[in-house]
């Protein structure tokens, strides 16, 4: 996620901006830049890569009292120096965090008015629009009110206007922004860590509010009436601030998921079924799909297999990348190979991409990190827009991956006329409600299940069909962060061997969300229960029945397209709470790395 910082006051703004950007490094970034006023001019300095690269380009003798800075995490356009912020057009220089969904339309309008664009970003249009509106209105606050009417999407903005020497302007919608306050100086930032070296007093800018920031701060509503704001005091240290008050990055990332899903789905839902089709590859030319990934990305592929086969009526196989790269591959020009990876740098997945490329097979990468190797080398790429994931165990990236695969199943089924238009629109509508269902599941309490589990040596997950695919991810999450030996089984397989391990007190987590095969799994639950197993059941309101289990998590009854994302939440939080009770290093489990770039 991009990071924003801004300063106006008596200190050297360049030093304050660099300190702020360094404190925001934990958010992840691929380039950085600052703009500062000096000798009545605005200087913009940018560099790709780490902040030290930016530091090297700055003149150490330069002094400034006003500036804005940015760390970029690419969403539109390559992660390079040109695309990095700040962006400048006419009299305006801006930094932006968020996504402008209608930037292409706005860009066309500005090009017609004679504006020339240098970057591939969605953000550059904001500087152009501000300049154009200012040439008509000549009042920055009124211009920002007009700007807000034109932008669709999310934004936190830091703005400098050439004509107003000592002020920064800020506005936000669905992207975080705070204003740091101190005697005779003010700051803006995406997050408290960026200002903590200088002040712990801050104001939260709410959606749609506009701030005029000089030595003092004024916040306005849309009518440009002053809004009275409370000045808050941050009591924690830098580490607490980086985690936004959460005890671990994993918990923070779990809580980010409702917002992530809005970003992931936004381009596909913008204009209903039209944008769904526009943003997906043309699947009509394929009669088979292979999905490749490692760990959780492979598990996401298994969820995709269930949905795409059921609703798209096309054979799908999911493979572990480290196996696929060495096995005989049955694929031709009618096969699409989909490679899933959060980092886009996983060695085995990348090797599979190169292998199938050499065979002339079409590839599609589903990736989080923009400009990563997989994204660059695949024929097509879909970005999941989950933002940087810091916890080693993936949560929000996995959720965004299965969301893309579910949208893909809908797209294929609808275009093959297997799903009617009215049904497809109903499903589209359900994705809009998905963030709320996810929030509801996050708010539930999983501590009792964790207490039943944390002192055990092993645990089994069971499910059928898509519930089995979800079980595999739940089981991986538990073992990797709590170190409890955990296995996932297709529920019907138990009695072919594994049931011999079930004894008094053995923990079994059963997932039963698919109504069509619920009775079969319930039968398997009864078999293990009668042998003494402690059962934690994850099920839906529709299936919830009076059979005997020890713990129950009941989720709403939802359509097949959004149900898996809601079901993933209890699995994440059961693992988290269990690992916490065991005192594990949750964000950095032993022996694991976030990006596995070796075979
Ligand atoms: C598990 C986990 C790993 C990754 C796997 C693939 O929580 O994070 O299993 O899913 O290492 O990584 P990417 O998605 O970066 O290819």
> Are residue 153 and residue 233 in the same domain, yes or no?
yes
Question: For the chain, what is the domain count?
Answer: 3
Do residues 171 and 129 make contact, with C-beta atoms less than 8 angstroms apart? no
pLDDT at 239 > cutoff 80 = no
Q: Is residue 598 part of a domain?
A: no
Catalytic residue (choose from 310, 380, 588, 594): 594
433 is catalytic: no
> Are residue 401 and residue 510 in the same domain, yes or no?
no
> Are residue 204 and residue 191 in the same domain, yes or no?
yes
> Are residue 423 and residue 511 in the same domain, yes or no?
no
> Are residue 410 and residue 544 in the same domain, yes or no?
no
Q: Is residue 341 part of a domain?
A: yes
Q: Is residue 299 part of a domain?
A: yes
Question: Which DSSP category does 119 fall into?
Answer: -
- Protein residue with its CA nearest to atom 9 in ligand 1: 295
| CATH code of residue 461 | 3.40.50.10490
CA of 388 to the centre of ligand 1 (A): 13
> Are residue 393 and residue 497 in the same domain, yes or no?
no
The neighbour count for residue 545, using CB atoms within 10 Å, is: 12
pLDDT score at 133: 97
- Protein residue with its CA nearest to atom 5 in ligand 1: 295
Task: Kindly give, in sequence order, each residue whose CB lies less than 8 Å from that of residue 65, ignoring residues fewer than 6 positions away.
Answer: 8, 9, 10, 11, 12, 13, 37, 166
CA of 129 to the centre of ligand 1 (A): 40
Among the atoms of ligand 1, which is closest to the Cα of residue 596? 11
pLDDT at 440 > cutoff 80 = yes
Domain boundary (393, 416, 441) is at 441
Lowest mean pLDDT among 219-233, 238-252, 285-299, 328-342: 238-252
Among 249, 253, 342, 396, say which to mutate for ligand 1: greatest number of ligand atoms within 8 Å of CB. 342
Q: Is residue 88 part of a domain?
A: yes
> Are residue 365 and residue 514 in the same domain, yes or no?
no
> Are residue 124 and residue 200 in the same domain, yes or no?
yes
pLDDT at 2 > cutoff 90 = no
- Give the pTM: 0.81
Tell me the pairing of strands 41-48 and 551-555.
unpaired
Indicate the average pLDDT of the chain. Answer: 94
> Are residue 543 and residue 508 in the same domain, yes or no?
yes
Q: For the chain, give the percent of residues with pLDDT over 90.
A: 84
Among the atoms of ligand 1, which is closest to the Cα of residue 297? 10
pLDDT at 599 > cutoff 70 = no
pLDDT score at 32: 95
Q: Domain range spanning residue 205?
A: 2-239
CA of 576 to the centre of ligand 1 (A): 17
Q: Is residue 577 part of a domain?
A: yes
Domain boundary (198, 223, 239) is at 239
Task: Kindly give, in sequence order, each residue whose CB lies less than 8 Å from that of residue 380, ignoring residues fewer than 6 positions away.
Answer: 281, 362, 363, 364, 365
CA distance 197 to 16: 9
Rounded to 5°, angle at Cα 291 from 258 and 408: 50
> Are residue 554 and residue 573 in the same domain, yes or no?
yes
> Are residue 457 and residue 571 in the same domain, yes or no?
yes
Task: Kindly give, in sequence order, each residue whose CB lies less than 8 Å from that of residue 292, ignoring residues fewer than 6 positions away.
Answer: 298, 301, 318, 319, 320, 321, 324, 337, 338, 339, 340, 349, 352, 353
CA distance 247 to 586: 10
Sign of CA dihedral 194, 195, 201, 204: negative
- The pLDDT-based confidence of 172 (bands split at 50, 70, 90) is very high
Among the atoms of ligand 1, which is closest to the Cα of residue 295? 9
567 is catalytic: no
Q: Is residue 369 part of a domain?
A: yes
Q: Give the 3-state secondary structure of 481-518.
A: HHCCEEEEEEHHHHHHCHHHHCCCCCEEEEEECCHHHH
**Residues enclosing ligand 1, CB less than 6 A?**
294-297, 341-343, 346, 349, 393-394, 476, 480, 595-596
Among 248, 294, 474, 575, say which to mutate for ligand 1: greatest number of ligand atoms within 8 Å of CB. 294
CA of 486 to the centre of ligand 1 (A): 17
> Are residue 293 and residue 426 in the same domain, yes or no?
yes
Average pLDDT over residues 507-523: 95
Lowest mean pLDDT among 24-38, 482-496, 498-512, 554-568: 24-38
Q: Is residue 20 part of a domain?
A: yes
Tell me the pairing of strands 41-48 and 534-540.
unpaired
Domain boundary (385, 410, 441) is at 441
Among 293, 296, 365, say which to mutate for ligand 1: greatest number of ligand atoms within 8 Å of CB. 296
């Amino acid at each position: 996620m991009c990071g924003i910082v801004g300063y106006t006051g008596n200190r050297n703004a360049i030093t304050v901006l660099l300190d702020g950007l360094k404190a925001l490094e934990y958010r992840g970034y691929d380039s950085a830049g600052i703009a500062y006023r000096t000798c009545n001019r605005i200087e913009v300095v940018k560099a790709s890569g780490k902040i030290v690269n930016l530091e090297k380009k700055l003149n150490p003798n330069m002094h400034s009292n006003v500036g804005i800075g940015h760390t970029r995490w690419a969403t539109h356009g390559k992660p390079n120096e040109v695309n990095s912020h700040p962006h400048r057009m006419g009299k305006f220089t801006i930094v932006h965090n968020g996504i402008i969904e209608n930037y292409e339309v706005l860009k066309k309008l500005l090009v017609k008015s004679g504006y020339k664009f240098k970057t591939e970003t969605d953000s550059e249009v904001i500087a152009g629009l501000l300049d154009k509106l200012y040439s008509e209105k000549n009042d920055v606050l009124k211009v920002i009110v007009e700007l807000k009417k034109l932008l669709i999407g999310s934004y936190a903005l830091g703005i400098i206007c050439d004509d107003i020497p000592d002020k920064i302007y800020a506005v936000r919608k669905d992207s975080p922004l705070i204003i740091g306050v101190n005697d005779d100086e003010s700051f803006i930032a995406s997050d408290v860590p960026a200002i903590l070296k200088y002040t712990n007093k801050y104001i939260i800018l709410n959606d749609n509010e506009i701030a005029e920031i000089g030595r003092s701060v004024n916040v306005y509503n849309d009518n440009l009436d002053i809004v009275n704001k409370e000045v808050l005091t941050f009591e924690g240290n830098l580490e607490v601030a980086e985690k936004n008050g959460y005890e671990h990055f994993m918990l923070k990332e779990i809580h980010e998921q409702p917002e992530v899903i809005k970003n992931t789905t936004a381009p596909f839902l913008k204009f209903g079924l039209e944008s769904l089709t526009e943003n997906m590859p043309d699947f009509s030319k394929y009669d088979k799909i292979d999905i490749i990934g490692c760990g959780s990305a492979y598990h996401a592929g298994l969820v995709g297999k269930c949905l795409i086969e059921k609703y798209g009526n096309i054979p799908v196989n999911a493979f572990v990348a480290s196996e696929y790269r060495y096995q005989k591959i049955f694929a031709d020009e009618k096969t699409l190979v989909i490679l899933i990876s959060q980092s886009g740098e996983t060695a085995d997945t990348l090797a599979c991409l190169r292998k199938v490329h050499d065979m002339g097979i079409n590839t599609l990468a589903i990736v989080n990190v923009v400009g990563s190797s997989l994204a660059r080398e695949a024929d097509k790429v879909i970005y999941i827009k989950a933002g940087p994931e810091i916890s080693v165990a993936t949560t929000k990236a996995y959720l965004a991956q299965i969301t893309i695969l579910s949208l893909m199943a809908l797209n294929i089924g609808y275009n093959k006329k297997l799903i009617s238009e009215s049904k497809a629109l109903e499903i589209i509508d359900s994705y809009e409600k998905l963030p709320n269902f996810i929030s509801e599941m996050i708010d539930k309490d999983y501590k009792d299940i964790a207490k039943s589990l944390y002192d055990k040596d092993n645990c089994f997950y069971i499910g059928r069909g898509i519930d089995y695919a979800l079980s595999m991810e739940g089981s991986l999450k538990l073992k990797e962060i709590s170190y409890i030996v955990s296995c996932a089984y297709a529920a019907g397989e138990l009695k072919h061997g594994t049931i011999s391990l079930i004894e008094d007190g053995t923990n079994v987590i059963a997932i039963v969300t698919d109504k069509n095969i619920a009775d079969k799994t319930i039968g398997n639950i009864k078999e293990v229960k009668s042998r003494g197993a402690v059962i934690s059941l994850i099920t839906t309101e529709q299936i919830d029945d009076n059979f005997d289990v020890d713990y129950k998590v009941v989720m709403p009854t939802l359509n097949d397209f959004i149900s898996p994302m809601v079901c993933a939440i209890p699995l994440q939080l059961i693992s988290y709470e269990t690992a916490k009770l065991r005192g594990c290093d949750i964000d950095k489990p032993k022996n694991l790395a976030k990006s596995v770039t070796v075979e």
